[in-house]
Amino acid sequence: MGDASTIIVGTAGKAYMGEVGSTFPTGPEEAWGSDFTDMGFITPDGLEEALEEERTQLDAWGEDAPVVDLARKRTQTFKLVFRQTTAHLLSLYYQVGLANMTSTAAAVGPPGKKQFLSFGSGSLADTVEIALGLDVIMSGKRHRIMIARAGVTDREAVKHSSEDSSNFGLTFTALAAPGGAQSVQHQITDVALPTP
């Protein structure tokens, strides 16, 4: 029988980033630690999570169906579109480490000058990887996703126009976690585990 209370509609959500190796919260209701940074506003499209598998099937003589079906590789991706322009999002979009960016302070003048950030892009040697935390929220329910190590593997074109903000559409791929840990952990409130 259906139970409407088990339906999750992501009416809000947040994304957090930290250094690879950062400690994740131990429960979905716990606050994110100081080693995580809020990544800012996300467009109403929300989070798109995908799980893809590459499989190998082994056949046997005289059998009309595979006798073994092995998962060779699992790829988990998480797509978000961010509305804000911050140093962290620029770093992820352009694959430039924060250490390779320069902030020039504002000057009173005359003439006055505004603060600005400058950086170059295009170096394949400058790879940015993060620990990624995602919260999908709906009226008291929370689905928390914690990715120990993630990299940006796809980027949408940034459109600069008067009709919308200059958004950063990023697809993160979960990478192998340090120390052989699980690369992706899920915590979901109010989902009962059936008793055997």
pLDDT at 140: 82
Side chain identity at 49, as an amino acid letter?
E
N-term to C-term CA, the chain: 19
Q: Are strands 116-118 and 102-104 parallel, antiparallel or unpaired?
A: antiparallel
pLDDT at 196: 87
Tell me the pLDDT band of 178, cut-offs 50, 70 and 90.
confident
The span from the CA of 61 to the CA of 112, in Å, is: 81
Top-confidence residue, 168 or 8: 168
Q: For 40-87, what is each residue's pLDDT tens digit?
A: 999 999 999 999 999 999 999 999 999 999 888 889 999 999 999 999
Tell me the pLDDT band of 111, cut-offs 50, 70 and 90.
confident
Say if residue 182's pLDDT is above 90: no
pLDDT at 176: 92
Strand ranges (E), the chain: 12-18, 36-38, 48-58, 68-82, 102-104, 116-118, 129-138, 141-155, 168-174, 184-188
**Average model confidence (pLDDT) for the chain?**
93
Say if residue 122's pLDDT is above 80: no
CA dihedral 66, 70, 72, 75 (to 10 degrees): 100
pLDDT at 34: 96
Burial of 8 (0-12, 13-18, 19+ CB in 10 A): middle
Say if residue 126's pLDDT is above 90: no
Say if residue 123's pLDDT is above 90: no
Tell me the pLDDT band of 102, cut-offs 50, 70 and 90.
very high
Side chain identity at 102, as an amino acid letter?
T
Domain ranges within the chain, ordered by starting residue? 11-24+35-56+68-144+151-188
